[in-house]
Amino acid sequence: MKHYVIWLLLLWSLLSTSAAQANDQVLPKPMVLRQLVMLQHPQPLPLIALSDLQGNAHNFADNHGRMTVLSLWATWCTLCVRDLQHLQQLLPQLDAQKISVVPLSIDEDLTLVPPFLQQHQLQFQQMWIDPQQQVADILPTDVVPATFLLNDNGELVGFVRGYVDWADASVAPYLRQLADQYVNLPQP
């Protein structure tokens, strides 16, 4: 039932007529992001208890003040390897003060995650896990990889389900422009 409510909220947000962007501009999406759906109204997400591989607690509010690129993945997902590799290539092109990239493993068996990351030479500043798959109560997890964009308040503002070539040259500039819209940094 929770999934239907979330999808109804997402559908309502898509069909609404007013823009959520701070300056009411809709950015033209690069072709590689044609499947990215930007919501017209940010959708609050309940704070669920997630953790990292060291057992430290995390939730969507951890990246307050930054746009978050939350990437759902699993070790059994073959497309997730490319998706994560391309996200890793994207990282140096982003402003870490405005954008966080957070891969979130939905693997139930946590012992599979560290060897998978090592085998594929994947290193991220933040790597979260959700072995109880609590995220499935608030976001669809039936398709991985799936990426969710959260604004600086941890609210859902966009999503894409399936593989994206994050290493494409057009992606970083687009994400930087989105961050300019969704991140309100204090002025010096």
Instruction: Calculate the average pLDDT of the chain.
Output: 88
Structure-token match 């085998």, residue found: 119
Average pLDDT over residues 8-27: 48
What local confidence, expressed as pLDDT, does residue 3 receive? 54
Token pair of 89 as six digits: 């290539």
Q: What percent of the chain has pLDDT over 90?
A: 81
What local confidence, expressed as pLDDT, does residue 22 receive? 42
Whether pLDDT at 128 is above 50? yes
Tell me the per-residue pLDDT of 30-62, one tens digit each, with 9 for 90 and over.
999 999 999 999 999 999 999 999 999 999 999
26 compared with 29, residue with greater pLDDT: 29
CA distance readout (Å), 130 to 2, 5, 124? 18, 21, 16
Average pLDDT over residues 83-103: 97
What local confidence, expressed as pLDDT, does residue 18 receive? 35
What local confidence, expressed as pLDDT, does residue 184 receive? 81
Structure-token match 């940010």, residue found: 42
Q: How far is residue 151 CA from its own chain's centroid?
A: 10
